[in-house]
Amino acid sequence: MTTENTNRQPTHRLYSVKGEGKNSRWIEIGAAWANRDGEGFSIKLDVVPMDGHIVMRAPKTKDGGQQ
């Protein structure tokens, strides 16, 4: 594993999601970088959720669109 991702912005954010629907709570727990070969991701977790439910999403811009 290399540290080459430290100079690039993450391509995705990782969240722990508690609950469902409008009552759900999303907590950002880490980030992911797409591998250069397009075959996967390098993931950095700041915390690991106890329930094991992790959602990976592309970050949105301030106007609500995808980056």
Residues paired with 18 in a beta bridge: 25
What is the pLDDT, as a whole number, of residue 62? 67
CA–CA distance, 20 with 40 (Å, rounded to integer): 28
What is the pLDDT, as a whole number, of residue 8? 84
Calculate mean pLDDT across residues 33-37.
95
Helices (H) and strands (E) in the chain, counts: 0, 4
What is the pLDDT, as a whole number, of residue 64? 58
Q: Looking at the chain, which runs of residues are DSSP E strands?
A: 12-18, 25-34, 41-45, 54-57
CA distances from 46 to 5, 21, 31 (A): 15, 25, 9
Domain ranges of the chain: 7-57
Tokens of 34: 């797409």
pTM over 0.85: no
